[in-house]
Amino acid sequence: MNSEVIRVMVIGAHPDDCDIKAGGVAALYKQNGHHVKFVSVTNGDAGHHQMGGGALAQRRNAEAQAAAAVIGIDYELLDNHDGELVPTLENRFQIIRLIREFVPDLIMTHRPNDYHPDHRYTSILVQDAAYMVTVPNVCALTPHMQRNPVIMYLSDGFKKPNAFCPDIAINIDAVIEQKIDMLHCHTSQFYEWLPYNSGTLDSVPESDDARREWLSDRMRNRFNVIAEDHRSLLTNLYGVSVGLDTNFAEVFETSEYGSRLTAENIPILFPFFE
């Protein structure tokens, strides 16, 4: 285990994106004394079928803070409208300053091909901020970074124009309950908006305990499928015994826009494979 503190920033488009894709690895980093920050580039003010605007943004911020408290990390929502994110120069500068202020060793974000424009443009904004975070005369009043962070993509199932191809798979068995507890905090999404949008709202239980169990069944299956689909990568990184015994996983793909992920820095950035 590396003794130095690793600084990890996960940048999603909406409140709950980071939790879904990287809540498990975030819990593992935090348990091992590392510093994790989740960022939502929008305030989530469009993600509901019955409410919206400022009231929804405040509700979603409260949900995000509750989720962050489950594992003891920071969670920041930027005050950009949900569904309206575009890769402007102003927004690029916002992301550059955000990254510089946190000084991450590792950034995780969406891939640029995705069903949601906010996801795509979050990815573009992070890509456009990469390298520029090291240029002193860009956003000159926010001290520049000495090196570009390593950037990894969060998982997705899209095949065209390029399929997701992970380089890192993380066993999250030890923190699966914490991850589900984080998702459980996002009431407006997992028990209201997403079921409504998928036509399954009638299947959502009424009581809090029943909802948690209902969500757990679905999410455990989802993260088990990820482990099954990437079994060979898990065994390569953890060894045969742990790799074959892994029930739940999160996976990440290297972006070419950050510093290189190498055999030398993998055990430093991902100190979970010993």
Q: Which domains does the chain carry? A: 7-173+250-269 (3.40.50.10320)
pLDDT (mean) for 100-114: 97
pLDDT (mean) for 64-72: 98
**CA separation for the pair 112, 165 (Å, rounded):** 14
Instruction: Please report, for residues 82, 83, 261, the alpha-carbon distance to residue 86 in angstroms, rounded to integers and kept in the order given.
Output: 11, 9, 28
Asked whether the predicted pLDDT for residue 19 surpasses 90, the reply is yes
**CA separation for the pair 183, 202 (Å, rounded):** 19
pLDDT score at 3: 55
pLDDT (mean) for 182-196: 98
Asked whether the predicted pLDDT for residue 261 surpasses 50, the reply is yes
Looking at residue 5, the DSSP 8-state letter turns out to be: P
Report the predicted TM-score, pTM, of the whole model to 2 decimal places. Answer: 0.96
H or E segment and range at residue 10: strand 7-12
Q: What mean pLDDT, rounded, does the chain reach?
A: 97
- Per-residue confidence band for 274, with pLDDT thresholds at 50, 70 and 90: confident
pLDDT score at 2: 42
Asked whether the predicted pLDDT for residue 227 surpasses 70, the reply is yes
Asked whether the predicted pLDDT for residue 241 surpasses 70, the reply is yes
